[in-house]
Amino acid sequence: MKFKYVVIHYAEIALKGNNRGFFEDALKNNIEKALKKESIKFLLKKISGRFVVELDEEADEGEKGYKKISEILKNVIGIAHFSYAIKCPCEIDAIKDTAVFLLSGKNFNTFRISAVRADKKFPWTSQQINEIVGERIIADLKKNVSLKNFDAEVIIEITTRSAFLYTKKFGCIGGLPVGVSGKVVSLISGGIDSPVSSFYAMKRGCEVVFVHFHSFPYTGIESLEKVKTIVKILDKFQFEGKIYFVPFADLQREIFVNTAGEFERFRIVLYRRFMLRIAEKVCEKEDAKAIITGDAIGQVASQTLENIKTISEACLISILRPLIGFDKEEIINKAKEIGTYEISILPHCDTCTRFMPKHPATKAKIEIVKKIEKNLDVEKLVEDALSKVEIVEI
Ligand code: ATP
Ligand code: MG
């Protein structure tokens, strides 16, 4: 007997009422895309509220083949957990034999059987299946049942046509399949936070398009390469990525020369307002419904509530900040988990440091910022930056 099947469970999708079919199709599509991208041969079916992937006969059952599949599935957002399973007919004797096969040769003392009936026409209840199969294990393998402190578990899923049995569950990210919530534009800086905030947007079903502001050629090409590498890493969650690289140096210089003396403190807030205006235009072009940033309250000078308010006023579209309540340590841990941390900590300089103020305003009043902007041709600066955008597909 071979673990030729992968039983995939999704959690939240089941709760979404009328949207259920739409969510299931999206998840199915994403699983197929992810496996095909790695040239895995398979057949995917929806059976009784779960997905079952039938692997190719030649699939390497050893660590190599299954490890690769696990790596892929683990990153498909929307999957709650999956298991490598053996399929048998929906007959109690076949189920008993398969359960014995699964536990034979395993080193354990106590066990439990956990049956789930997706097909209520099966003549035994879940509890009866647990007892019948359990008795057989006790008789054949001389082991004891322990429902709470067990060393081994056999999970039996009875579907309309077959039963699937397995002993191990692999937990996944959960969330909603990428794409079901629509599109967003994420401001990605190359720092630690914005890749994590982009991930959280994906986790709630958003397809993410990236926008990065840079001062190349005044700053090195490395910062652009760095953002591409980060987006490539994030692509394992959404399969393809698009980055808008926006040249920002001319705009920064214009703000710089208009903010001498007492107004110097407002530069960062002004830069951020222009970033949002440009991102809002990208949203229009992409038909995206919101902007995502990696802000967390109070982390740096520009992220006080007062500044966030003044910055947000620059555009009409919703700005979502998935990290707003996170501590830096929590963000770092998540960045390590999703694989972006090691790249994010590499030294980089996305925008010219000489344009930065020494003491940024922490409570930038909207009236003052607007007064400064009166001396700038806001629309033209935005249009100029947009006309020089370079779009890179990853
Ligand atoms: P990060 O680690 O994401 O850079 P941060 O804590 O360094 O965040 P800031 O540098 O103030 O904070 O940036 C706040 C947010 O503004 C970022 O999370 C990002 O969403 C956006 N942002 C900052 N710089 C850029 C940039 N060069 N291009 C695109 N977005 C940017
Ligand atoms: Mg930053």
Domains and CATH numbers, the chain: 5-171 (3.30.2130.30), 182-393 (3.40.50.620)
Closest ligand 1 atom, CA of 344? 2
Map residue 179 onto helix, strand or coil.
coil
Which ligand approaches the C-alpha of residue 344 most closely?
A: 1
| For residue 132, pLDDT beyond 60 | yes
Higher pLDDT, 226 or 12: 226
Tokens 């794409």 locate to 179
What integer is the mean pLDDT of 48-61? 82
Residue 238 has pLDDT above 90, yes or no: yes
Kindly tell me if the per-residue pLDDT of 13 is higher than 80: no
- What average pLDDT score do residues 193-214 get? 97
* Closest Cα to atom 14 of ligand 1: 295
Beta bridge partners of 137: none
Reported as a pLDDT band with limits 50, 70 and 90, residue 63 is low
Q: Closest Cα partner for 77 from 177, 171, 7?
A: 177
Nearest CA to ligand 1 atom 26: 189
Name residue 86's beta-bridge partners: 165
Cross-sheet strand order for the sheet of 318-320: 318-320, 290-292, 182-187, 206-214, 242-247, 390-393
- Minimal CA–CA distance to 334: which of 230, 189, 195, 185? 195
- CA 189 to ligand 1 centroid distance, Å: 5
Q: Which residue out of 184, 185, 187 has the highest number of ligand 1 atoms within 8 Å of its CB and is therefore the one to mutate? A: 187
For residue 212, list its beta bridge partners.
Answer: 245
Neighbours of 94 (CB within 10 A): 15
Mutate to test the pocket of ligand 1, among 185, 192, 193 (most ligand atoms within 8 A of CB): 193
What span, in angstroms and rounded, lies between the C-alpha atoms of 93 and 121? 17
- Residue 275 is predicted with a pLDDT of 97
pLDDT band at 2 (very low <50, low <70, confident <90, very high): confident
Q: Model confidence at 301, in pLDDT bands (50, 70, 90)?
A: low
- Using the mean position of ligand 1's atoms as its centre, give its distance from the Cα of residue 212 in Å: 9
- Taking the C-alpha atoms of residue 166 and residue 95, their distance in angstroms, rounded to an integer, is 11
Ligand 1: atom nearest CA of 214 is 27
Q: How far is the CA of 27 from the centre of ligand 2 (A)?
A: 33
Contacts of 323 (CB under 8 A, 6+ apart): 193, 196, 197, 200, 294, 295, 296, 331
Q: What is the overall mean pLDDT for the chain?
A: 92
329-381 per-position pLDDT tens digit? 999 999 999 999 999 999 877 666 677 888 888 898 999 999 999 999 999 99
Pick the atom of ligand 1 nearest to 194's CA: 3
Atom of ligand 1 nearest to the CA of 303: 11
Backbone torsions φ then ψ of 193, nearest 5 degrees:
-75, -45
CA distance 201 to 338: 13
Region 149-174: what's the mean pLDDT? Answer: 95
- 136, pLDDT greater than 70: yes
Residues ≥6 apart with Cβ < 8 Å to 379: none
239 token code pair: 């399969």
User: What residues are in contact with ligand 1 under a 6 Å CB criterion?
Assistant: 187-189, 191-194, 211-213, 275, 293-295, 299-300, 302, 350-351
| pLDDT one-digit tens code per residue, 248-298 | 999 999 999 999 888 999 999 999 999 999 999 999 999 999 999 999 988
**pLDDT at residue 67 greater than cutoff 90:** no
Pairing assessment for the beta strands 170-171 and 182-187 based on DSSP bridges: unpaired
Q: Does residue 16 carry a pLDDT above 70? A: no
Straight-line distance from the first to the last Cα atom of the chain, in angstroms, rounded to the nearest whole number: 41
Q: How far apart are the CA of 198 and the centre of ligand 2, in A?
A: 14
CB neighbour class for 141 (10 Å; exposed up to 12, middle 13-18, buried from 19): middle
Cα separation of 271 and 382, whole Å?
A: 11
**For position 298, what pLDDT does the model report?**
81
pLDDT at 59: 67
Measured distance CA(306)–CA(339) in Å, rounded: 33
Q: Could you write out the DSSP letters of every residue in 248-281?
A: -HHHHHHHHHT--GGGGGGHHHHHHHHHHHHHHH
pLDDT surpasses 80 at 174: yes
Q: What is the pLDDT of residue 15?
A: 60
**Given a cut of 60, is residue 14 above it in pLDDT?**
no
